[in-house]
Amino acid sequence: MAAAVLHILGIETSCDETAAAVIRRNADGSGEIVSNIVLSQIADHAPYGGVVPEIAARVHIKHLDHLIAQAMDEAGLAFPMLDGVAATAGPGLLGGVIIGFTTAKAIAMAHGKPLLAINHLEGHALTPRLLELCPFPYLLLLISGGHTQFQLVEGVGRYRRLGTTIDDALGEAFDKTAKLLGLGYPGGPLVEQYARKGNARRFDFPRPLKGRKDCNFSFSGLKTAVREAVNDLGHLSEQDIADVCASFEVAVAETLQDRLKMAFAIFQEAHPEARAPALIVAGGVAANMTLKTVLASSAQEHGFKLIVPPASLCTDNAAMIAWAGAERLTLGLVDDLNFVARARWPLDEVSTPIYGSGKLGAKV
């Protein structure tokens, strides 16, 4: 497709945010967010200490239509003025994914617009290009409740996984630590809050996989060590909680620093021609200030430019989905109405899956 100004509606319903947005892709490749509506479901899931799939799906059904109407109204557009409709088609909670993707199909079919089935992870991978000039290739670190992985981003639809978690995702480890300490949900921000008041050296928690010559992660052993420390303490004082949080956070930071070193080396070996490479960090855990400090110092040490999108674009949102749709539409990459939503959908579909029971190489 020739370069032109594009307006794309994006829909995101993969987990516990219901979101709709409209973006504009200009002829020069730059992007603008015209509207971006996100309805958080935190209050709906907090009593259960985590996301309940059925509740998430019901909330999506209740609110999605009026959120789309609001996004279109704020953009000043009617459906016939759109150039395409993009929606998350996976990975995620399948009930929620189906709701958003089916809605997108209906809008695309009713108005004769191209349908763009977006991998949620590709939305994260391409977000920096919505915000600023960010040429390929670059290194992506995705750290969220469901994903922890390094990806080599070489172009739209061209991804190579360098490393991933062999058990828990980092965000999940934060949430489970918070739950062990009785802090509530979502746990990540609460762990960070307590860590600021704690002694990070009181508990010597493990640094999983530190020193290994790959970019994979493991957090189940760290989570187990936290549980054992909490059980040994018995009654927890406020200072105990703060010290556990601080010790956990520094263990994560040092592990991340070690894994980054390997990822930088692999990237530079793959692309020695990249003179000013970028490290893109996405996902909700990217908002943690201790980890941001480690990311910034590590990137500077290895000659990488660190790019962390604003928190509103690191967590789940529809603007990133719309932008990924615009990038794909520009290349003529549209999808058939028969495209099927999926719960699992790796960004890099070539690499061997690595998860299950903490055993490297285990397959689903």
Tell me the whole-structure pTM to 2 decimals. Answer: 0.91
Q: Are residues 80 and 159 in the same domain?
A: no
Statement to judge: residues 291 and 156 lie in one domain: yes
Q: Is residue 153 part of a domain?
A: yes
SS3 19: strand
Q: Assess whether 105 and 243 both reside in one domain.
A: no
Average pLDDT across each block of 10 residues of the chain; the chain has 364 residues. List them in order: 83 96 96 96 86 93 97 98 98 96 98 98 95 94 90 96 93 92 89 96 95 92 95 95 97 95 95 93 89 94 94 93 98 96 88 50 30
In b/e form, how buried is each residue of 219-240, taking b as 16+ CB within 10 angstroms? bbbbbebbeebbeeeeeeeeeb
* Shared domain check, 292 and 145: yes
Q: Tell me, what CATH number does 193's domain have?
A: 3.30.420.40
DSSP assignment letter at 80: G
Assigned token pair, 151? 């990806």
pLDDT on residue 3: 66
307 and 325 in a single domain? The answer is no
- pLDDT for the residue 50: 82
Instruction: Identify whether 100 is part of a domain.
Output: yes
Cα angle 67, 346, 121 (rounded to 5 degrees) comes to: 35
Tokens of 24: 């504009």
What's the confidence (pLDDT) of residue 96?
Answer: 96
How many domains does the structure of the chain reveal?
2
251: containing domain: 138-311
Residue 145 and residue 82 share a domain: no
Q: Tell me whether residue 259 is in a domain.
A: yes
CA quadruple 187, 189, 194, 198: dihedral sign: positive
**Strand ranges in 120-157 using DSSP code E only, listed in sequence order:** 138-143, 148-155
Domain contains 81:
yes
The answer to whether residues 294 and 321 belong to one domain is no
Long-range contacts of 332-335 (CB under 8 A, 24+ apart): 332/1, 333/116, 333/156, 333/157, 334/84, 334/114, 334/115, 334/116, 335/89, 335/114, 335/115, 335/116, 335/117
State residue 364's pLDDT score. 24
Whose structure tokens read 């990488």? 304
Neighbouring CB atoms inside 10 A of 331's CB total 11
